[in-house]
Each structure stands twice: as structure tokens, then as C-alpha cells.
């Protein structure tokens, strides 16, 4: 069972709405700091603003690369990653080349991921800083189970930190079945992020129970407010009974 504080640190609070304004971003940062979530995820443009807004908080800053379709060229993604890290992003959520994977061009997918891992490690490396955390989005909705397994194996073997299910822009998002499949492939130690359509505490707990280690959501405050550790322990006991 998670404490309330531990539960909050499993949340990536996300604001990737194109129409979001500066004032909305700042209110979003205030809320994230209040709830002590793991990260805020914003578009790269907002990184300097968010970095200033959260400089005195324990909330990390994250952004998206190749979002939402993963179809940018490799050099473009690498440039995006370098720039994002320079602008203060501590975690990157990177969309893999979905079309190349589905075309069977495994070498293209693998070389892109490896270059992004290597580049991000070097760019983010300072004497007193931890390395950048890389979450690779496979957009599971568009993949067969065999393709999901292949993507997970590539990300795992290339040194990614997380496999993430979805961007939240496809017709479908995270599912319990996909989380179980990903966890089975990557093993017990690698990060698994469930994202896309997670709006309630119950949904978040289902994903965590299935093997997720991070939740991406635009409803982080409501999910955290709805989490009562004692109630969850009681419901878990009923399920076991």
C-alpha cells in the first residue's frame, strides 16, 4: 500500500493542450507543487517558464519529443532532446518511429533509440546532476502484441528507462492488458508508464496493480484527492478474499 505522498510521486501531471495559455501553465505548476507530483509534462516551448516556476519545488520537469506521431527524422528528435535538456527538462517522453516499426524496419527504430539514449546521457551529464530519464512511447493502440513486444525489447536493450503506453492522442490509451504485457517483457526493474485516458483513482490503481510504475494524466489532482490508503487496503483485502 502506498502512502498519500508515495502515491503522488507516481503521477506525471500533464498539460499538453495546444491552446493552454501562459497563465494556465503557471496555475498548473502551482497545483503540481501543491500536490508534490513526480513531474510536470509540458510542451518544449514552456520549459523556461516552468523551470522558473518550479525552481523551489520537488517537482521535476519533463517534456515530449517527436510528439505526437514519432514521425520526425532522427536528427530532428536528437536536436529536440538536446535543446529540451539544455532548457531544464529532467525527463523526456519520446515517441518512437511507429511507422518504421510497423514496416519491419527494426534497425531504424533501434538506431534512433540508441542515438537518443546516448545523446541525452551526454547532454544531461554534469558533475552533480543525475542523468536524464528517458521514457519511450510505443503508442500501443496501433501495434499488434508482437510489435509491442518487439518495441519493448528494443527500448529495454538500448538503455531506455521507461516504456510508455500512449501519447493520449490515439483513439485508445493505456490498458491493463498492455501494462501486463510490457511488464512481462521488460522485467521487474524497468519503468513502465501508463498514459492515455486515466482520469480516476480506480483507473490509476488498476494500472499500478498490473505493473505500471508511473501514471501519466491530466487529472493528477483529482486522482490524488481520491486516493485513501485505508480504503484501498480494505478493497484489496476483499479482492483477495
C-alpha distance from residue 73 to each of 79, 105, 112, 118 (Å): 10, 14, 9, 17
Say which residue the cell 516556476 belongs to. 53
135 an active-site residue? no
34 an active-site residue? no
Which sign, positive or negative, has the C-alpha torsion 44, 50, 52, 55?
A: negative
The one catalytic residue among 77, 90, 164, 178: 164
- Give the Cβ contact number of residue 147 at 10 Å: 16
164 an active-site residue? yes
Q: How far apart are CA 93 and CA 135, in angstroms?
A: 5
Say which residue the cell 510505443 belongs to. 138
The one catalytic residue among 93, 135, 148, 178: 93
Cβ–Cβ under 8 Å, residues 174 and 210: no
Which residues are known catalytic residues? Answer: 93, 164, 193
Amino acid at each position: 500500500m502506498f502512502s498519500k505522498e508515495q502515491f503522488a510521486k507516481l503521477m506525471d501531471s500533464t498539460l499538453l493542450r495546444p491552446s493552454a495559455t501562459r497563465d494556465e501553465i503557471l496555475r498548473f505548476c502551482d497545483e503540481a507543487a501543491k500536490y508534490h507530483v513526480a513531474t510536470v509534462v509540458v510542451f518544449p516551448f514552456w520549459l523556461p517558464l516552468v523551470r522558473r516556476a518550479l525552481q523551489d519545488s520537488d517537482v521535476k520537469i519533463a517534456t515530449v519529443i517527436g510528439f505526437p506521431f514519432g514521425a520526425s527524422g532522427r536528427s530532428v528528435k536528437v536536436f529536440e532532446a538536446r535543446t529540451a535538456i539544455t532548457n531544464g527538462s529532467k525527463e523526456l517522453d519520446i515517441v518512437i518511429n511507429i511507422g518504421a516499426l510497423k514496416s519491419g524496419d527494426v534497425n531504424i527504430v533501434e538506431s534512433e533509440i540508441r542515438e537518443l539514449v546516448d545523446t541525452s546521457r551526454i547532454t544531461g551529464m554534469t558533475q552533480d546532476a543525475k542523468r536524464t530519464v528517458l521514457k519511450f512511447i510505443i503508442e500501443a493502440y496501433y501495434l499488434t502484441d508482437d510489435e509491442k513486444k518487439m518495441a519493448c525489447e528494443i527500448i529495454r536493450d538500448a538503455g531506455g528507462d521507461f516504456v510508455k503506453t500512449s501519447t493520449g492522442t490515439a483513439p485508445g490509451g493505456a490498458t491493463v492488458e498492455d501494462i501486463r504485457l510490457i511488464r512481462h517483457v521488460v522485467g521487474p526493474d524497468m519503468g513502465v508508464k501508463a498514459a492515455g485516458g486515466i482520469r480516476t483513482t480506480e483507473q490509476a490503481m488498476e494500472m499500478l496493480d498490473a505493473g505500471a510504475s508511473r501514471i501519466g494524466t491530466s487529472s493528477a489532482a483529482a486522482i490524488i484527492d481520491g486516493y485513501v490508503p485505508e480504503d484501498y487496503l480494505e478493497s484489496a483485502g476483499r479482492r483477495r478474499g
